[in-house]
Amino acid sequence: MRIDVVTVFPDYLAALDLSLIGKARQSGLLDLRVHDLRDWTTDRHRTVDDTPFGGGAGMVMRPDVWGSALDAVLDGDPDGHLVIPTPSGEVFTQRHAESLATEGHLVVACGRYEGIDARVADHYRAAGRRVSELSIGDYVLNGGEVAALVMIEAVGRLLPGVVGNPESLVEESHGAAGLLEYPVFTKPPVWDGHEIPDVLLSGHHAKIARWRRDRALERTAARRPDMIAALDVEDLDKHDVAKLAELGWHVTDGTILRIPGAVAD
């Protein structure tokens, strides 16, 4: 996969030289190129922004500079997918990461200030290009760089060969099961008086799987009730249904409903 990142702070992206993504770059699995937006300015001051039409606080990034930069890094590739991190985007999830990981070429446009002139996204969309405006969560950062790091790591680790043991991608939080991951433990078996659950030492695989599934259901019900409500009933066995009832969720006619007042929140 090729990923081009355009930013006014190329140094921000230095973290992508580290760890598994850094290795993927070295081995050629990931062709990641970071560009300085100011390379496409034409004035002496290398200006990338200006005041907003209609008034208001802050500065907006100029569409002409962005247009030149994006045309250059898209490099005539009709399949280049433009990703624009923005707090006003759709919320980026593991589903977006999975979908973006199947692409051959991503171009990530990191805005600063009040964002990029809206004509930029419209222009590339109108030209038939895929454009995704994505937010990494309901909070505001100073620019798209940190969000780009988040998305590139989430996408990059899904590329074949980047994570050494692909099994470790299977049971993760936000994976296909639609549940948060169960708690995990390692040595020593007793730490500062804290023991690990006996079942994990039993060697009984079915019991361990059930224990983990129950903990995942409990965690998800407590922390992310929206994910319980979104579970596919077809994926639940009778133990899941019983566990959910204990947690105050009723499974009926293909839907999962919270039983009001069943369990103290």
Our finding on whether 114 is near ligand ADE (CB under 6 A) is no
Residue 216 burial (10 A CB sphere; 0-12, 13-18, 19+): buried
- Candidates 104, 137, 166, 197: give the one binding ligand ADE (CB under 6 A): 137
- Candidates 13, 35, 85, 132: give the one binding ligand ADE (CB under 6 A): 85
Q: Which is nearer to ligand ADE, 41 or 86 (CB)?
A: 86
| Token pair recorded at residue 145 | 């760089």
Write the DSSP assignment of the chain as a string of letters: -EEEEEES-GGGGGGGGSHHHHHHHHHTS-EEEEEEGGGG--STT---EEPPTT--SS-EE-HHHHHHHHHHHHTT-TTPEEEEEEEEEEEP-HHHHHHHTT-SEEEEE--BTT-B-THHHHHHHHTT--EEEEESSSS--SBSHHHHHHHHHHHHTTSTTTSS-GGGGTT-TTSTT-SPPPP---S-SEETTEEPPGGGGS--HHHHHHHHHHHHHHHHHHH-HHHHHT--GGG--HHHHHHHHHTTEEEETTEEEE-TTSS--
Our finding on whether 141 is near ligand ADE (CB under 6 A) is yes
Closest distance to ligand ADE from the beta carbon of 106 (Å): 15
- Candidates 22, 67, 87, 225: give the one binding ligand ADE (CB under 6 A): 87
Number of residues counted as binding ligand ADE (CB under 6 A):
12
Our finding on whether 116 is near ligand ADE (CB under 6 A) is no
Query: Which amino acid, residue 159?
Result: L
Closest distance to ligand ADE from the beta carbon of 89 (Å): 6
Our finding on whether 147 is near ligand ADE (CB under 6 A) is yes
Interface segment toward ligand ADE; rule CB under 6 A; list 83-91, 124-132, 179-187, 222-230: 83-91
Closest distance to ligand ADE from the beta carbon of 40 (Å): 21
- Candidates 8, 34, 136, 247: give the one binding ligand ADE (CB under 6 A): 136
Our finding on whether 86 is near ligand ADE (CB under 6 A) is yes
Our finding on whether 144 is near ligand ADE (CB under 6 A) is yes
Our finding on whether 135 is near ligand ADE (CB under 6 A) is yes
Our finding on whether 80 is near ligand ADE (CB under 6 A) is no
Our finding on whether 58 is near ligand ADE (CB under 6 A) is no
Interacting residues with ligand ADE (CB under 6 A): 85-87, 135-137, 139-141, 143-144, 147
